[in-house]
Structure 1
Amino acid sequence: MFDIRRLALLVQVVEAGSITAAADLMMYTPSAVSQQLRKLEQEVGQPLLNRRSRGVSPTEAGQVLAGHARRIVQQMQAAHSDLDQLAGLKRGSLTIGTFPTLAGSFLPVVIRVFKKRYPAVSLSVRSARFDELLADLQSGVTGLCLLWDYPWNPFQDESVRVTEVFRESTVILVSRGHPLADREQVSIEELRNESWIVRAEAHPVVEVLQRSAHDAGFEPAIGFLANDYQEAQAMVSVGMGVAMVPKTAVALQHPDVRVLSLGPAAPLRRILLAQRQDKVYAPAEVAFHSTLLEIARERAADYL
């Protein structure tokens, strides 16, 4: 392994064309620079500089090593800059992608903490469907995004790095006047004769309901297609049917709706934080990643 300080000296000497000039730039004595470069030559095992009465020029080996060293030095400078920014995050911007149920429940808690810690970072949020979230991430519109998956269809994309944030349970919604409203837990089998309120436009929760019902031996009767979970809760509240929803969907619970657990049989979905594999993560992204996982650890039990 080469000493990074000696590599930096080599770059300065090659660019300045003189040991004396490089020494002045780096606030060393010429003899100290010469000594360090000789040690570097010993590490390399061949001459790196042609020394002349008027300055120096790199040997072929010196030119090759200086090219590599230049990139290493630039990367180290970038690392120092990023760490300095991360320590104070005095500037920067970040756009994150999310989906509605998380935007209305868990994410605002994270944003509140993040903005308090890093008030100078300009933060924006884009809420969209799964395919749009992934497209925005891959095109660089967002720096990171929140996704989800279920055990029967795990998310897999070699270009995307994912971190599990937490696991979320599926719950049943019934009206306050429903015969099961006083229960804390029900089984899907007990709901075979119910009319179901589901999300419209082939929403993923429809597949969750169908799989659960089919496993219990019945076909769910769909009575109403809701455009969002607030509409679904409103229809449940007046007895139009029951609904199966992810737990984050009832962060704002309708007063005339009861939330019942499905117990150990409840389908679970993973909430994932996604970032591109091929990019260097900006300090604001690193800070948001860390803050989000910290809040998730504190609140994970709330979603099971």
Structure 2
Amino acid sequence: MDSVGLDVNRLRVLGAIARRGSMTGAAADLQYTPSAISQQVRRLEAEVGQPVLERHTRGVRLTDAGRAIVRHLASIDNQLAALQSELDDIAGLRAGSLRLGTFPTVAASLLPVAVNRFHQEHPGVDLKVVSARLEQLMEHLERRRVEMTLLWDYPWSRIEVPELELIELLQDPTEVVVSATHHLAGRGEVRMAELAHESWVTRGGAHPVAEVLSWTALRAGFEPTVAFEANDYQEAQAMVAVGLGVALAPRLALANLRDDVTVLSLGDEAPRRRILLAALKGRSPTPAERAMAQVLRDVGAEAAADLGSARAARDGGSATPPS
């Protein structure tokens, strides 16, 4: 006998027979015909591989196998009810879990808003967040260490992985950071060519923003002179603040801006990175994944609107750069 092949409904039929003492009584309780009850018993006996009832002129009596089934039936029903309750909780986002990947600049800007909103709406879901570099996040997703992850890319280096489902949340523009005393500090917008003779503070360790600087400077016709390679954006801001150079940074990396630096827009010249939500194709998202994806879409749309409003205010309140 293969226990995996047992039909729970047939077990319940036998339980009804034991409770009522006859097949006719069980048929009335379950709204079956007596012949349907008899057929279910025969199929159960085939699954069990031995008789579960002894039939006699006065009715039926459980065999040892039948009594064993009835003895375990209540426990089986309780476990199935507990399972259904847990499944209902997961479907209703009252339980379950979600592992989400992210990267530092989003973790310091957009993600706290999204996590707070998700926790408020679904406090029963166990949310875990892993922060890493792009290559590690891709590996985490591939190895199923996370169910979904935030990623980014630039126009010259698009993520093109057929196995990934990508949702664009927003576009994050690159901006220029200068000290509050810099001669361009009063400007809302600047052209990259105007910065050709500046020294630059950038990120070390082959950080992506260094590539952004090289790409943007090349398009503007110059080779940037790097004065300092910082370990993080806060360190870069500190070096900019004391006049060591100017820096490029994605807007989301400037959520915690120092008082002694200011940000200038590059206007239409600004490289924009896509902030993406990625998951593996070919798998059905859980309710928790669908809920988080919607929260991130909403937060991304709000952030995009804020970026647009900030640029409009800056454009309206600052002088136009000279031609």
Which TM-score bucket, shorter chain as reference? Answer: 0.7 to 0.9
Equivalent of 2:96, from 89, 92, 99? 92
Aligned-pair CA distance for 1:154: 1.1
> In the aligned structure 1, how far is the partner of 2:43 from the partner of 2:107?
61
Matched residue, 1:44? none
Give % identity: 41
| Counterparts in 2 of 1:52 and 1:31: CA distance versus 1, 3 Å | closer
Q: Which stretch shows the higher mean deviation, 103-112 or 121-130?
A: 121-130
Instruction: Kindly indicate whether the alpha-carbon contact (under 8 Å) linking 1:17 and 1:55 is maintained by their aligned counterparts in 2.
Output: no
Instruction: Kindly indicate whether the alpha-carbon contact (under 8 Å) linking 1:82 and 1:282 is maintained by their aligned counterparts in 2.
Output: no
Matched residue, 2:294? 290
Aligned-pair CA distance for 1:112: 0.7
Report the secondary structure of 1:184's partner residue: coil
Matched residue, 1:105? 109
Instruction: Kindly indicate whether the alpha-carbon contact (under 8 Å) linking 1:192 and 1:213 is maintained by their aligned counterparts in 2.
Output: yes
Instruction: Kindly indicate whether the alpha-carbon contact (under 8 Å) linking 1:83 and 1:283 is maintained by their aligned counterparts in 2.
Output: no
> In the aligned structure 2, how far is the partner of 1:279 from the partner of 1:172?
41
- Post-superposition Cα deviations, 1:157-215, rounded to whole Å, max 9, x if no partner, equal 12211111111111000000100000000000100000011111111111111111111
Instruction: Kindly indicate whether the alpha-carbon contact (under 8 Å) linking 1:165 and 1:272 is maintained by their aligned counterparts in 2.
Output: yes
Matched residue, 2:195? 191
Report the secondary structure of 1:162's partner residue: strand
Aligned length: 261
Matched residue, 1:128? 132
Aligned-pair CA distance for 1:275: 0.9
Aligned-pair CA distance for 1:16: 8.8
> In the aligned structure 1, how far is the partner of 2:30 from the partner of 2:306?
59
Instruction: Kindly indicate whether the alpha-carbon contact (under 8 Å) linking 1:95 and 1:124 is maintained by their aligned counterparts in 2.
Output: yes
> In the aligned structure 1, how far is the partner of 2:105 from the partner of 2:204?
15
Aligned-pair CA distance for 1:287: 1.4
| Counterparts in 2 of 1:28 and 1:100: CA distance versus 1, 3 Å | same
Which consecutive unaligned segments of at least 5 residues does structure 2 have?
1-6, 18-25, 45-82, 309-323
Matched residue, 2:3? none
Task: Compute the TM-score of the two structures, normalised by the length of structure 2.
Answer: 0.71
Matched residue, 1:166? 170
- Post-superposition Cα deviations, 1:202-240, rounded to whole Å, max 9, x if no partner, equal 111111111111111100111100000000001001100
Instruction: Kindly indicate whether the alpha-carbon contact (under 8 Å) linking 2:178 and 2:246 is maintained by their aligned counterparts in 1.
Output: yes
- Post-superposition Cα deviations, 1:102-142, rounded to whole Å, max 9, x if no partner, equal 01111101011111111122212111100101111111111
Output aligned runs, 1:46-57, within 5 Å: 55=42
| Counterparts in 2 of 1:54 and 1:254: CA distance versus 1, 3 Å | closer
Matched residue, 1:30? 32
Output aligned runs, 1:254-269, within 5 Å: 254-269=258-273
Report the secondary structure of 1:30's partner residue: coil
**Counterpart amino acid of residue 195 in structure 2:** L
Poorly superposed stretches of 4+, deviation over 6 Å: 11-18, 51-54, 78-81
**Counterpart amino acid of residue 30 in structure 1:** Y
Instruction: Kindly indicate whether the alpha-carbon contact (under 8 Å) linking 1:114 and 1:291 is maintained by their aligned counterparts in 2.
Output: yes
Alignment pair present for 1:209 and 2:222: no
Instruction: Kindly indicate whether the alpha-carbon contact (under 8 Å) linking 1:150 and 1:270 is maintained by their aligned counterparts in 2.
Output: yes
Aligned-pair CA distance for 1:299: 2.3
**Counterpart amino acid of residue 204 in structure 1:** P
**Counterpart amino acid of residue 29 in structure 1:** Q
Aligned Cα root-mean-square deviation (Å): 3.4
Output aligned runs, 1:267-278, within 5 Å: 267-278=271-282
Aligned-pair CA distance for 1:13: 7.8
Matched residue, 2:180? 176
| Counterparts in 2 of 1:53 and 1:218: CA distance versus 1, 3 Å | closer
> In the aligned structure 2, how far is the partner of 1:262 from the partner of 1:190?
11
**Counterpart amino acid of residue 276 in structure 2:** L
- Post-superposition Cα deviations, 1:41-63, rounded to whole Å, max 9, x if no partner, equal xxxxxxxxxx9797469xxxxxx
Q: Which has the larger radius of gyration?
A: 2
Matched residue, 1:220? 224
Report the secondary structure of 1:293's partner residue: helix
Report the secondary structure of 2:135's partner residue: helix
Aligned-pair CA distance for 1:282: 2.2
Matched residue, 2:311? none
**Counterpart amino acid of residue 194 in structure 2:** E
Report the secondary structure of 1:125's partner residue: strand
> In the aligned structure 2, how far is the partner of 1:32 from the partner of 1:275?
52
Report the secondary structure of 1:141's partner residue: coil
Matched residue, 2:66? none
Report the secondary structure of 2:210's partner residue: helix
